Amino acid sequence: MSFAVLFSLALSILHRLTSLVPTPDRNEPVAAAWYTGWHASGTNAFPLSAVSWDKYNTLIYSFAITTPSVNDLSLNGSDPPLLHHFVSKARAHGVAAHVAIGGWGGGLWFSPNVATPENRTAFVKTVAKFAKKHKLNGINFDWEFPNKQGIGCNAISANDTQNFLSFLQELRAKVGPKLTLSAAVSIVPFNNVSGHPSKDLSGFAKVLDYIAIMDYDVWGGWSSAVGPNAPLNDTCATHANQVGSAVSAIKAWTAAGIPVNQIVLGVPSYGHSFSVPPPNAFINGSEIELAAYPKFNASNQPLGNAWDDSSSVDACGILQGPGGTFNLWGLVDGGFLTTEGNPAPGIYYRYDTCSQTPYVYNETSQVMVSFDNARSFAAKGSYIRETGLRGFAMWEAGGDYNNILLDSIRTAAGFGGY
Ligand SMILES: *[C@@H]1O[C@H](CO)[C@@H](O)[C@H](O)[C@H]1NC(C)=O
Ligand SMILES: *[C@@H]1O[C@H](CO)[C@@H](O)[C@H](O)[C@H]1NC(C)=O
Ligand SMILES: *[C@@H]1O[C@H](CO)[C@@H](O)[C@H](O)[C@H]1NC(C)=O
Ligand SMILES: *[C@@H]1O[C@H](CO)[C@@H](O)[C@H](O)[C@H]1NC(C)=O
Ligand SMILES: *[C@@H]1O[C@H](CO)[C@@H](O)[C@H](O)[C@H]1NC(C)=O
Ligand SMILES: *[C@@H]1O[C@H](CO)[C@@H](O)[C@H](O)[C@H]1NC(C)=O
Ligand SMILES: *[C@@H]1O[C@H](CO)[C@@H](O)[C@H](O)[C@H]1NC(C)=O
Ligand SMILES: *[C@@H]1O[C@H](CO)[C@@H](O)[C@H](O)[C@H]1NC(C)=O
């Protein structure tokens, strides 16, 4: 073989290798999920080998958490050594490897980290260094929430949203266009200085590739009644039940200046459980049809599936009871659904055509669960396609059962041939 042939062969191999590394395309649709390091081992583990890599183009390792020092991020609680393997696996599958910074319990220190020009510069350095060290393709900021109380002890400042933007502008200037920057956001736009949803967040669209709207936990154990965890729509609900939805969120965020093609819909592979006595659960106590928005017994939160704990201490040091979360696999495990994802014999089922979400009810245990299934994920996928959203991001990859949810939303959103 001549040198020239060898050389061109080497070049073409090099080209094929580098083309496996996803190059960010500002308009590439997003088929993503968060991967949680703390579920990689232990009960009902979801190891890296269980991820359906070929059905995603982005996986987001969770979480790197903020710390009291602007110079540090921590992977504590999220299996730090696993991140390296996660990135290698993603790379081998041509999937972009991102890390989410923050989360419900991990964003306590965002506010001070971006509060002053000095801290912003330091935090930009911290994040850029972290991304480089771990060879990441993207960072997903999961600040819950700027100028708004989330878990109960996250630092807050009136200037959070403006400071966040200044920080992102500086970060983008430092890392350039190649690192994908995104934010996981609530269904309402970031608060302004007076604590109301901001009217103009168009600056964020210039520095972020996209936002992922977390359209879940809209109703749960803290609500006044059993409602949809992840409503697609709520304008069709009664006024009292218009708490928010994908439809209301897209309306609010686009009105605040984020284009639809920079919005990814966050979708859940889990539902919330409630204790509902039979007289509340059925219309007219009939044992025929499940009632909409029934009252539940808030002092009797059911335990969710094997990933739930009957008690735990949160990031604020507060003792918490069960979360009551059922992943799709947990609903199968718990006897609510068959392995095909259909209601099991003896389980009552309701599909709410406004929120486009299902409910199951076990009359014996008096447990009702508001969740998502293949039908509701198909509705969400169609909405993504029809509205021109950028794609979907599922919390969390390990919650699905036999890809029932993932296959449904991919097909409906138009990722079928991906
Ligand atoms: C990690 O977090 C646990 C509590 O979740 C804490 O006890 C421990 O000290 C932390 N370790 C480090 C190195 O921060
Ligand atoms: C800046 O960061 C340092 C170190 O993390 C922190 O102690 C300080 O409070 C921050 N400044 C502000 C104004 O929040
Ligand atoms: C918010 O920013 C303004 C000016 O940009 C400043 O005057 C004010 O002190 C800041 N407020 C807080 C709470 O940091
Ligand atoms: C914050 O938003 C509220 C509601 O939209 C608005 O009335 C208020 O003027 C805004 N505050 C500032 C300082 O922009
Ligand atoms: C939401 O409900 C309204 C009726 O209130 C309807 O016009 C609209 O098409 C629905 N949107 C979706 C995406 O279901
Ligand atoms: C429940 O009872 C009301 C009043 O008796 C009746 O109008 C309604 O049709 C009943 N609904 C069902 C589903 O049986
Ligand atoms: C609610 O649950 C608590 C705790 O299990 C129980 O003591 C109470 O009787 C229940 N209330 C109703 C109205 O069922
Ligand atoms: C309903 O719950 C009871 C009590 O936990 C359990 O024994 C039963 O198997 C469940 N029913 C179905 C159909 O799964």
pLDDT, one tens digit per residue, over 366-403 is 999 999 999 999 999 999 999 999 999 999 999 999 99
Cβ partners under 8 Å of residue 77, min gap 6 = 37, 38, 63, 65
pLDDT tens track for 165-222? 999 999 999 999 999 999 999 999 999 999 999 999 999 999 999 999 999 999 999 9
Using most ligand atoms within 8 A of CB, pick from 215, 233, 239 the residue to mutate for ligand 5: 233
Q: What stretches of 143-222 adopt beta strand conformation (E)?
A: 180-185, 210-214
Residue 286 has what pLDDT? 84
Mean of pLDDT values over 224-235: 98
Cα separation of the two ends of the chain: 38
Residue closest by Cα to atom 9 of ligand 4: 194
Per-residue CA distances from 46 to 26, 98, 418 (Å): 31, 18, 24
Neighbours of 364 (CB within 10 A): 7
Mean of pLDDT values over 292-320: 97
Look up the pTM and report it: 0.93
Whether residue 341 is predicted with pLDDT greater than 90 in this model: the reply is: yes
Asked if 366 and 278 count as a contact pair (C-beta separation under 8 A), the reply is yes
Give kind and range of the element (H or E) at residue 348. Answer: strand 348-352
Residue 416 has what pLDDT? 77
Residue 3 has what pLDDT? 46
Mean of pLDDT values over 11-31: 57
Average confidence score pLDDT of the chain: 94
The counts of H helices and E strands in the chain are: 11, 16
CA 347 to ligand 8: nearest atom: 13
Angle of helix 160-175 versus helix 117-133 axis, rounded to 10: 50
pLDDT band at residue 287 under the 50/70/90 scheme = confident
Residue 26 has what pLDDT? 63
CA 109 to ligand 2: nearest atom: 5
Nearest Cα neighbor of 293 from 357, 215, 362 is 357
Distance from Cα 101 to the centre of ligand 1, integer Å: 17
